[in-house]
């Protein structure tokens, strides 16, 4: 078994690949994982970009992204029914620089896991997912909200959207989600966890391993995390909203 190390200098990530040579002279990838380079610069950048605090009950350190929290407080808008609009930097106009920082932080959190694919749902999950796929050199698959007439062999599930107050079907081709896949799911929001439950179902149908789920913003008061953790899946989010009552954004920090 040969060990290869690849540096992704644009985001301070090191990937370690283990390849086994076969008799025909080729090689097969048998294991891959990512590490974050802890240079002085990186530590300095961490201090500026991220806040971390200790939960005194669990003794766990929780990281939140300062740049993201500041942006939500500056440009986020509250709507009736517990909806946060972030159209200025995530859902309509997008900030690629912030999106890169989001991708780097999610990669950092899942650095020690073994993944071979990034999974998301169209449309708003595609931006963070493609950033992560680009930085890690991994393919990105998005679940489609409309079944293409040309695609057979689809896995599908129904999801209830509370922002649109209706059910919709999402599907993924069996060619792109298989029993060989170890996937990391990423999306813009975690609310009631309906989209997450749909993704868990699709991964189960495909026989793929869902290594973890990562969200840019979690609205903790809608408790979507429970369904994910009850299914034994790791859940990470970069900004946690505790309440949107009285049109005021209360962020955990
Ligand atoms: P869930 O399925 O967890 O209830 O909701 C997650 C999905 O609904 C996300 O993919 C996101 O697109 C959308 N969503 C949920 N809450 C919000 C919100 O407050 N603002 C926006 N912009 N989208 C939301």
The per-residue pLDDT for range 74-110, each reduced to its tens digit, is: 999 999 889 999 999 999 999 998 998 899 889 878 8
- Residue to mutate, 191, 193, 214, ligand 1, most ligand atoms under 8 Å from C-beta: 191
**Residues near 112 by beta carbon (within 8 Å), at least 6 away in sequence:** 33, 34, 35
Query: Distance from the CA of 189 to the center of ligand 1, in angstroms?
Result: 5
Higher-confidence residue: 146 or 39? 146
Ligand 1: atom nearest CA of 82 is 19
Answer whether 218 contacts ligand 1 (Cβ < 6 A).
Answer: no
Q: Would the pLDDT of 143 be above 50?
A: yes
Q: What is the pLDDT of residues 188-222, one digit of tens each?
A: 999 999 999 999 999 999 999 999 999 999 999 99
How far apart are the CA of 142 and the centre of ligand 1, in A?
A: 16
Mean pLDDT value across the chain: 86
Q: pTM for the complete prediction?
A: 0.85
Asked whether the predicted pLDDT for residue 124 surpasses 50, the reply is yes
β-pairing, 60-65 with 50-55?
A: antiparallel
Ligand 1 atom with minimal separation from the 222 CA: 4
Do the bridges between strand 166-173 and strand 154-161 make them parallel or antiparallel, or are there none, so unpaired? antiparallel
Rounded Cα distance, 190 and 173, in Å: 24
Residue 151 pLDDT > 80:
no
Q: What is the pLDDT of residue 208?
A: 98
> Which residue lies with its CA nearest to atom 4 of ligand 1?
192
For residue 90, the CA-to-ligand 1 centroid distance in Å is: 12
Question: Is 91's C-beta closer than 6 angstroms to any atom of ligand 1?
Answer: yes
Tokens read off for 210: 């869902």
Start-to-end Cα distance in the chain: 45
**Full DSSP string of 179-194:** TT-EEEEEEEEESSSH
Question: Is the pLDDT confidence value at 55 over 50?
Answer: no
> Is the pLDDT assigned to residue 48 strictly greater than 50?
no
* CB-based burial label for 174 (10 Å; 0-12, 13-18, 19+): middle
Residue whose CA is at the smallest distance from ligand 1 atom 10: 189
In the prediction, which pLDDT does 184 show? 98
pLDDT band at 59 (very low <50, low <70, confident <90, very high): low
Closest approach atom of ligand 1 to CA 198: 2
pLDDT(42) > 60: no
- Residue 83 beta carbon below 6 angstroms from any ligand 1 atom: yes
Q: Are strands 182-190 and 209-219 parallel, antiparallel or unpaired?
A: parallel
Number of H helices, E strands in the chain: 6, 15
Whether residue 124 has its Cβ less than 6 Å from ligand 1 = yes
């Amino acid at each position: 078994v040969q060990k290869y190390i690849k540096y992704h200098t644009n985001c301070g990530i090191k990937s370690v690949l283990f390849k086994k040579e076969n008799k025909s002279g080729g090689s097969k990838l048998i294991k891959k994982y990512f590490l974050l380079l802890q240079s002085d610069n990186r530590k300095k950048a961490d201090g500026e970009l991220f806040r971390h605090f200790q939960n005194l009950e669990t003794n766990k350190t929780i990281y939140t992204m300062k740049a993201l929290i500041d942006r939500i407080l500056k440009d986020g808008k509250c709507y009736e029914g517990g909806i946060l609009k972030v159209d200025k930097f995530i859902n309509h106009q997008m900030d690629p620089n912030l999106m890169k920082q989001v991708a780097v932080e999610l990669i950092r959190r899942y650095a020690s896991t073994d993944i071979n694919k990034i999974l998301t749902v169209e449309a708003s999950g595609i931006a963070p997912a493609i950033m992560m796929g680009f930085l890690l050199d991994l393919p990105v698959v998005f679940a489609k909200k409309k079944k293409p007439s040309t695609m057979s062999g689809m896995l599908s599930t129904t999801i209830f959207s509370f922002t649109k107050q209706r059910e919709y079907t999402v599907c993924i081709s069996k060619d792109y989600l298989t029993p060989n896949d170890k996937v990391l799911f990423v999306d813009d929001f975690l609310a009631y966890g309906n989209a997450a439950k749909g993704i868990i179902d699709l991964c189960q149908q495909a026989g793929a391993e869902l290594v973890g789920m990562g969200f840019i913003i979690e609205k903790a008061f809608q408790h979507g995390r429970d369904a994910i953790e009850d299914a034994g899946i790791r859940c990470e989010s970069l900004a946690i909203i505790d309440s949107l009552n009285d049109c005021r954004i209360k962020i955990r920090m």
